[in-house]
Structure 1
Amino acid sequence: MQLKMANSNAQLTSIPEQSILEVYFLALGQYNYDRAKEQAEKEREAMRSASGSASWFWVNTLGMLSRLAVAEKNYASLTYLSPKWFGKKESMKLTYSSLVTDLGSMEQSGAGQTGQAQQTEVLLAHICDQIRHFCEARTETVEFYDKLCPMGNQRTDVDYGELLSTVDGLIATHGHHFHHPLLIPIKQRFTLELEVLQGLLKAHQFMLDWQFLPTLLQLHNVHSKLENLGANIRFKEGKKSGVVIPSKAVGVPPLYQWLARFKAAQVSKFSLYFHDSLSKQALSTSEFKGHLANLLVDHRAKIIAFSKKADALNVSVVYDTNNAIEVFKGHGYHHPYSQHEVPTGLDSYPAIFSYPEEKPIRLWPMVVMLLNSKADELTDLDRVIYSFDKTQSMTYFITRLEGRFSLVVIFNSKKSERDSYIKSFMQEMNMLLRGSNIFASLRLGHKN
């Protein structure tokens, strides 16, 4: 079988259709869908006009390629996920499913040809079969993105493990298909897209377990793959230099922009969860603040601004270490084989970020008590828990961000339970840190 494939690939280099296919797939791999469609249709019309010399198989193949270019443009635009798109996912899946059926018929017709005169059809049939595998993979990625959209409105924890398993499955199932040399441009783009998603989901999983180095390595890996995925795109810098915004003038697909924003949101969250460790690596405080200001969201600045305006005594992100995968070792680097005791009591709820710098130790028993006694209510991620301690005249607001992380705001005076400024701040932080706005933006075909 491998020998047959090798022979087919070798012979394809001599057929005149190769140059057309090379230009077409290169354009498709560079997001230039209109050029790819124009190339296929132009050649198709030329073949039809040639009296008696047109190969019906080649003409039909060009028709398939034209349809594929349209499908790929719609896929990358994310418009099929918008509520305004009639039929939504079903329409996009139907487009690819129809191509799968027609390409399968083409492959069978061409593969059955014999004789020297039919060698071109045999080789083109092999290409059609490869494209069919690609379209089958696309139907599954369409389903995946459609599955992500409603998670933006989900009020409970997103099962990132399940999402990661789905992406892993897509890579394992389709990673070795559509491998023909001519299809390398779309093969690379398909693989990089899934690997970026895979890396972002892994980074999120590591952050949920508060693992600094594994998260950092995944984000670095995603950064490299995004650069490769956008290698043929001209960029312009946004207002924040840390967020590269693709130029709309060159028709950059919203799908790529969404992946870039997903990564930028993860980096922003990483900067808050591991603020202490990162700040110690900067040459100066001003330099570190400058780096944070260039992120998609400067969570630290938002917390400080809120704290000053609301006159909060303390704002902390609290991590529940109970039953964690790894023993909590505190901020900074630790040797992987170093031994640490499992935190107990109040120490099992450290403040991984706190403003002002230190958590209020004398009030921590109350914080831990509320986190435990209100655990059932905190499963609703949109809920903000309110508690006023009359004996100490302290007001507590708590919301769970995601997983083991909670946001706690403390005031040394009585505050109204319905204080809109406080609740809106906590709900906004909740939305930003758990990434619901990123998933919701898929449904809207969000462009940034």
Structure 2
Amino acid sequence: MEPSYGAGSATDIAGTAPLAVAELLPALQTSDERKNWRSGERTPLSQFQSYCILMAKLRWEAAREQIESFRGKRIPVTTSAEDSACHSLLSTCLQLTQMERTYFSLNFMLPKAFFRKENTLLLSYSQIKSELCRLVDVNSESMRSCTAEDLRRRFIDLVSARVSLMNVYSAFSTNNLGLLNELCMLINVLASVEEMLWSSRKHDCMASLFELVCGEVRLLRLLLEVQLALLRCQFLPSLLKLKDVCERMRQWFNSVEYAKSRCKSSNSFFRFPSSTRNSSMQLCEWLEHLYWLLLSKFSLYFYDTLSAQCSNADVEHTVAAIKTPNFVHAFFNFHRKSDACFIALIVNGTSCSDSSTGSGYSLEDADGEGGGELKRKFPVLFRTGADKSEFERLFPSLSILIQEAAESNFPNDRIKYCHDSRLSKSLDIPDVFCASGGVQHLHGAGISSEVG
């Protein structure tokens, strides 16, 4: 049976000896304890360190058993402040064990309408943080040993980081991550959390546990920085950050043994094909899904740039290797099934004050065909269909219609249909951020088809 979030009554604990702070903390180890450690007996300190290591590897059941087996051997002494502090810390460990298990099972890919448990878990984290802060205020002057107080403060930092991370994850479904200011705000929040946890990464007992949280914070911050670079249409920063994300994600997944939990089951009586058993760590799956989403957006925005730097076979092989969603294939398939002359993904940069906006390597067009100012205001990220000369002939009309569609801001109609009688073309200008994975900086795409 899984432990509840409640701490439990200390009077229910049976044992043979009272619990003292010195039994948990390295600074207060006695010579007898060090002698027992040399003789091979596990000391309370090593058990607490083992608990943190097990938690860092997401082995919650083993971590719970570690604390419960140690606490069950001690009789609580209600008149001892040190004993009360130690049992309070042990209760905190048990509560965090269950909450961490629930935290990593959160599935942020589900719509908000589904019960995703984050509200209940966020309340539990907030309650344990309030209780720890209360104990710190009460015992700050009366406690002779500052080590138990230090552990409490470390737990407060740990829980505060979890609360901040959950708020950032929840912001993905409520905030407009296509707006630079909101995205920068979330990045700053994660940077402040990482700075808060920096000193605790070298803690004697809890270093492994804090390294787990810091690794997650760094990974999520890098993912948001990739999104920010994509919004600014920066080719090289996006590429370098995606490479960094790939390496850090691999390291973090290996540290929590995430890959090992995604094994295949083939023991079927009827010898059906083997099926993959989904991992219970859905938060890791969500982070992996976000990485592939950003990689797919990168391959779409800079498809022309990548094509110019390598062979067509290499480009097609790279694009085909991208997992779902694959936006390049989606655009090509849509064009193949429709009667459109071409499909283009165009940035509306008229209201963008960011001077870093530019596609590819931000080099000037080598063809020298002019239209430099218009191309700077409306960079073309992706185009498929009609030849370049036909597209260039329609581009001035497209830029005007895209700007008009953005300014009209129809709440119930995301596509603006219009007809250019001079060119004998019908033009559809949709809001591209609905179809390209949440990049609201791209205000419009042009779809042109023949009429008559």
Matched, 1:98 2:127: yes
Please point out which of 57, 60, 80 is paired with 1:30: 57
Tell whether the 8 Å contact from 2:234 to 2:358 is kept in structure 1 after alignment.
no
Q: Give 1:293 shift.
A: 1.3
Once residues 100 and 300 of structure 1 are traced to their aligned partners in structure 2, the CA distance between those partners, rounded to angstroms, is 46
Q: Give 1:211 shift.
A: 1.0
Once residues 312 and 231 of structure 1 are traced to their aligned partners in structure 2, the CA distance between those partners, rounded to angstroms, is 46
Q: Give 1:406 shift.
A: 2.4
Once residues 376 and 280 of structure 1 are traced to their aligned partners in structure 2, the CA distance between those partners, rounded to angstroms, is 34
Aligned to 2:158: 134
Aligned to 2:401: 370
Q: Give 1:95 shift.
A: 1.5
Tell whether the 8 Å contact from 1:209 to 1:324 is kept in structure 2 after alignment.
no
Matched, 1:397 2:428: yes
For structure 1, the residue ranges without an aligned partner over 5 or more in a row are 1-7, 240-246, 336-340, 415-448
Aligned to 1:163: 186
Aligned to 1:292: 319
Once residues 286 and 198 of structure 1 are traced to their aligned partners in structure 2, the CA distance between those partners, rounded to angstroms, is 33
Any idea what SS the aligned residue of 1:35 has?
Answer: helix
Task: Output the amino acid matched with 1:92.
Answer: L
Aligned to 1:40: 67
Task: Output the amino acid matched with 1:139.
Answer: V
**1:156 and 1:412, CA in 2 relative to 1: closer, same or farther beyond 3 A?**
farther
Q: Give 1:138 shift.
A: 2.0
**1:84 and 1:304, CA in 2 relative to 1: closer, same or farther beyond 3 A?**
closer
- After the TM superposition, which of the residue ranges 363-372 and 76-85 deviates more from structure 2? 76-85
Once residues 256 and 324 of structure 1 are traced to their aligned partners in structure 2, the CA distance between those partners, rounded to angstroms, is 36
Once residues 363 and 374 of structure 2 are traced to their aligned partners in structure 1, the CA distance between those partners, rounded to angstroms, is 23
Aligned to 1:76: 104
Q: Give 1:84 shift.
A: 5.2
Aligned to 2:249: 226
For residues 156-181 of structure 1, the C-alpha deviation after alignment (integer angstroms, 9 at most, x for no partner) is 89832232233233333444457522
Task: Output the amino acid matched with 2:416.
Answer: I
Task: Output the amino acid matched with 1:62.
Answer: L
Aligned to 2:437: none
Aligned to 1:63: 91
Any idea what SS the aligned residue of 1:307 has?
Answer: helix
Any idea what SS the aligned residue of 1:182 has?
Answer: coil
Once residues 342 and 192 of structure 1 are traced to their aligned partners in structure 2, the CA distance between those partners, rounded to angstroms, is 46
Q: Give 1:137 shift.
A: 2.5
Please point out which of 417, 420, 444 is paired with 1:386: 417
For structure 2, the residue ranges without an aligned partner over 5 or more in a row are 1-24, 35-42, 265-275, 365-369, 434-439
* Structure with the greater alpha carbon radius of gyration: 2
Once residues 343 and 426 of structure 2 are traced to their aligned partners in structure 1, the CA distance between those partners, rounded to angstroms, is 12
Matched, 1:180 2:203: yes
Please point out which of 336, 356, 360 is paired with 2:391: 360
Any idea what SS the aligned residue of 2:446 has?
Answer: strand
Please point out which of 355, 361, 373 is paired with 1:344: 373
Tell whether the 8 Å contact from 1:346 to 1:368 is kept in structure 2 after alignment.
no
Once residues 65 and 100 of structure 1 are traced to their aligned partners in structure 2, the CA distance between those partners, rounded to angstroms, is 12
Aligned to 1:18: 45
Matched, 1:411 2:419: no
Tell whether the 8 Å contact from 2:427 to 2:448 is kept in structure 1 after alignment.
yes
Once residues 29 and 306 of structure 2 are traced to their aligned partners in structure 1, the CA distance between those partners, rounded to angstroms, is 54
Aligned residues: 384
**1:162 and 1:267, CA in 2 relative to 1: closer, same or farther beyond 3 A?**
same
Once residues 51 and 412 of structure 2 are traced to their aligned partners in structure 1, the CA distance between those partners, rounded to angstroms, is 47
Aligned to 1:278: 306
* Greater RCO (Cα-Cα under 8 Å, separation 6 or more): 1
For residues 279-328 of structure 1, the C-alpha deviation after alignment (integer angstroms, 9 at most, x for no partner) is 2333x322321211121232222111111111210011112344553366
TM-score with structure 2 length normalisation?
0.73
**1:324 and 1:289, CA in 2 relative to 1: closer, same or farther beyond 3 A?**
farther
- After the TM superposition, which of the residue ranges 20-29 and 171-180 deviates more from structure 2? 171-180
- Percent of aligned pairs sharing the same letter: 20
Once residues 306 and 158 of structure 1 are traced to their aligned partners in structure 2, the CA distance between those partners, rounded to angstroms, is 33
Task: Output the amino acid matched with 1:94.
Answer: L
- After the TM superposition, which of the residue ranges 55-64 and 15-24 deviates more from structure 2? 55-64
Any idea what SS the aligned residue of 1:376 has?
Answer: helix
**1:163 and 1:55, CA in 2 relative to 1: closer, same or farther beyond 3 A?**
closer
Tell whether the 8 Å contact from 2:106 to 2:118 is kept in structure 1 after alignment.
no
**1:260 and 1:111, CA in 2 relative to 1: closer, same or farther beyond 3 A?**
farther
For residues 397-431 of structure 1, the C-alpha deviation after alignment (integer angstroms, 9 at most, x for no partner) is 112332145221111137xxxxxxxxxxxxxxxxx
TM-score with structure 1 length normalisation?
0.74
Once residues 371 and 362 of structure 1 are traced to their aligned partners in structure 2, the CA distance between those partners, rounded to angstroms, is 16
Q: Give 1:218 shift.
A: 1.5
Task: Output the amino acid matched with 2:229.
Answer: F
Any idea what SS the aligned residue of 2:207 has?
Answer: helix
Any idea what SS the aligned residue of 1:398 has?
Answer: strand
- After the TM superposition, which of the residue ranges 18-27 and 179-188 deviates more from structure 2? 179-188
Tell whether the 8 Å contact from 1:209 to 1:325 is kept in structure 2 after alignment.
yes
**1:238 and 1:411, CA in 2 relative to 1: closer, same or farther beyond 3 A?**
farther
